[in-house]
Amino acid sequence: MTISPDEAEALAVLIHVARPEWEVKGIKTALWNAKDRGTPFEVIHAAIYAAEDLSNRTPAIIALAGPHWTRGRELGSSNPVGPKCDQPGHEGKPAHNCPYCIADSKAIPDDTATEYQRPPDPDRVDMYAVGARNVRRALEEARRKP
C-alpha cells in the first residue's frame, strides 16, 4: 500500500501552510517520489519531519534518505524508536526528545524566578509565527465561504 494521490494532495497543502516557501506542486512531486519508501504513515511522518527542519531548503528532501525517515516512533507502537534517555526517572523516553529533560531545561530556577526570563528559540519563533499567520488566514477564508 502506498500513499494515494488524494492523500498526497492533502498532505502537500498542509505542509505548504507550514512552509509557504515550498510550492504545493513540488511537495506533491516529492511525496510521489517517496511513495515506495514506506507505508503511507511513514511517508507522512517523514514529510512532516523534513518540513520541520528549516535547514531543508526544498521539498525534494522528502524523497531522499535522511533523519526524517528514521525520526519518531515505530508505526503501530507507542514506544519511541532509538536510544532511551539515561537520566534517572526518565527511563523509556527517547534520548533525542525526552519530555522530562525538555521540561527541566525550561524550568525557572527558584532563586532567580523573578529575574530569569528564557529567551525564545530564534529558529522556532519565525516558524511558529509564519505557521500561526497561515492557519489564521486559512480559518478566516473558511469562515467567509458560504
| pTM attached to this predicted model | 0.50
pLDDT by residue for the chain (146 residues), tens only, comes to 678 888 899 999 999 999 999 999 999 999 999 988 888 888 898 999 999 999 999 999 999 988 888 776 554 444 445 677 888 887 777 776 677 887 777 665 555 544 445 555 666 667 777 777 888 888 888 888 76
Could you tell me which residues are beta bridge partners of residue 80? 73
For residue 123, count other CB atoms closer than 10 A to its CB.
9
- Cβ-count burial 13-43 (b if 16+ within 10 Å, e if not): ebbbbbbeebeeeebbbbbbebbebbebebb
- Cβ-count burial 55-92 (b if 16+ within 10 Å, e if not): ebeebbbbbeeeebbebbeeeeeeebeeeebeeeebee
